[in-house]
Amino acid sequence: MAQRGTFRADGGGVVDLTEDQPLDGSYEKADGMGLFWSMKPGKKGVRWFAPPGSSDRPAYDVRLVVKAEGKPSARRTVTRVGMGKGVRHRRLRVEKDDLHGELYLPPPGAQAAAPVLLFGGSEGGDTQWSRAALLASRGHPALSLCYFRCPGRPGHLEGIELEYFARAAEFLLGQEGVEDRKLVVAGSSRGSEAAQLLAQHRPGLVEDAVAFASSNHVAPALPDAGADAWTRDGEPVPQDWIPLDDVRGTVLGVAGGDDRLWDATYLSEPLAKRHRLLTYEKAGHFVSGPPYLPEAKAGWRYGGTRAANAAAKADAWPEVLKLVRE
């Protein structure tokens, strides 16, 4: 991935990225991390940014080169570390653990913080491991859970039992050193439905929920829209609004006002009325996760712009951290 920006230095030869607007480049307004979130893939046809490295070592190098009058004048390589020193990692597999995911525990002796269970949306697979590693680095025991499209689990988003998520939550709470009984679930896109359902129906297990690219309405299965996505106690979860009256803590929704995959603002109205909703007018569907990572190409299907999505994440992520710390 590569990116560039052109700036005019002041009389002392200084460029301050937090104050200086680029004359040319991939982003328009002054932004200290603009060169990071605006990076684009070097290969054609690549839309998504996948953190380099592995779930054992989520880290990658970024090479910075400063040129003056077309000639390199300074170089620096920085390593972006996604997992702090001492964080413990364990892979979970269905055949052994009855769960599929990646478990990250803070270093021994770290101050106890709320455990966080994370899962993605209609993309399936285990997509949240880098976020789990990052949270564990901040003291939160974290589990990135795959609930479909992984070995031992269904191949499609259909008939996914809420008990599977509850089992993962109980597993996380049962880990050594997990003293805080306040458990937070964080789901993205279609996973936002599961997060809210867990907070509503399992208040003794789940306290708070984060719903990224939120929808409070249960949608059909994928790809078979005639089937049900979720089950509870062996019965389909109705395709209706999710009541939030039994939630023990807070549901925090994060929605893009220009989300074109679904009308996130309308579908998240119950969160604004009963809990808390952050809406970003010009952002699209890609509003989940930590900021300052290369933004995916938004496009007509998902809405928003890369700049708006980046700004939404920069604003929302500190609010997410505040919720899990309270």
Confidence band, pLDDT 50/70/90 cuts, at residue 172: very high
The sign of the dihedral angle between the CA atoms of 223, 227, 233, 234 is negative
Is the confidence at residue 51, as pLDDT, over 70?
no
- Domains held by the chain: number: 2
- Together in a domain, 92 and 181: yes
Do residues 162 and 31 share a domain? no
Residues 198 and 152 in one domain: yes
Average pLDDT of span 20-37: 93
Q: Assess whether 76 and 109 both reside in one domain.
A: no
Mean pLDDT over each residue of the chain, to the nearest integer: 93
Q: What residues make up the domain containing 38? A: 5-81
Do 143 and 213 lie in a common domain? yes
SS3 per-residue string spanning 80-108: EECCCCCCEEEEECHHHHCCEEEEEECCC
Is pLDDT of 294 > 70?
yes
Same domain, yes or no: 112 and 228:
yes
Domain check: are 215 and 285 in the same one? yes
Lowest mean pLDDT segment, chosen from 133-137, 189-193, 269-273, 300-304:
300-304
**Boundary residue ending a domain (81, 114, 129):** 81
Residue 47 pLDDT > 70: no
Asked if the model's pLDDT at residue 45 lies above 80, the reply is: no
Quickly state the pLDDT bin for 202 (edges 50, 70, 90): very high
Between β-strands 142-146 and 100-105, what pairing exists: parallel, antiparallel or unpaired? antiparallel
What is the average pLDDT across 113-125? 96
Mean pLDDT value of segment 68-85 = 88
Can you tell me the mean pLDDT for 205-217?
Answer: 98
Domain identity same for 106 and 177: yes
Q: Residues near 322 by Cβ (< 8 Å), separated by ≥ 6?
A: none
- Whether residues 105 and 158 fall in one domain: yes
Interatomic CA distance for residues 151 and 291, integer angstroms: 30
Q: Which residues pair with 160 in a beta bridge?
A: 230
49 and 198 belong to one structural domain? no
311 and 167 in a common domain: yes
- The Cα 186–Cα 128 span in angstroms is 10
Inform me whether the pLDDT recorded for 2 exceeds 90. Answer: no
